[in-house]
Structure 1
């Protein structure tokens, strides 16, 4: 189980850092669904990892980070649905 938790944590790190790198390089837009998915999933994976390790402040930060990402995805989806009408 510990190996799985660590793997999830590293995957979260790769997703969040990858999203930041791609936006910084101009490969993704901060408003894109891909960027928001990478951040939201990465944060969610960090929540599991930090909970396991008892790092509660980091866990709370990542819960908020993920909520922001999922809210942005909801906004993107809502706007796409409105545009297609």
Structure 2
């Protein structure tokens, strides 16, 4: 009976590890919680099978596999930002909740050149780090690092 359980655990471990690696290699799942949990489960099951059969190289390798997966899971859990859920009885929670489709607010900044004339830069696209397509940087003025948008003279 114990032999059958250990054999089934070994095969479950092999299938979990193989499936996770295959899905990751085909870009079907990211390197995240699911992948590392599958590696942890697979390595643990195969390590138990290796210990039962006194296959020490396999058991030790799979225990190392488990350790790597466990440490990676801990790192992933610790790196996830904590966003508290708003209380159900308080509809206007002070913290904004993340949504699936958000558009950053338009960026608006006034810049001036050496002549005192100004330009207002209004950004409408969510691509930070790109140059301003219209207006550019006034001669001797200040560069604005916003996503693409438009520039117009200040009134």
Tell me the TM-score normalized by structure 1: 0.93
Gaps of 5+ in 2: 84-155
After superposition, give the CA deviation of every residue in 1:7-53 in whole Å (9 maximum; x if it has no partner): 000000010000111001111112x1000000011000011000011
Judging by fraction of residues, say which structure has more helix.
1
Gaps of 5+ in 1: none
Structure 1 segments, 4+ long, off by >4 Å, are none
CA separation in 1, counterparts of 2:8 and 2:58?
A: 17
Q: Superposition RMSD on alpha carbons, in Å?
A: 0.9
Residue in 1 aligned with 2:114? none
Judging by fraction of residues, say which structure has more strand.
2
Larger Rg, first or second structure (1 or 2):
2
The higher relative CO (CA closer than 8 Å, separation ≥ 6) is in 1
Aligned residues: 82
Asked if 1:44 is matched to 2:20, the reply is no
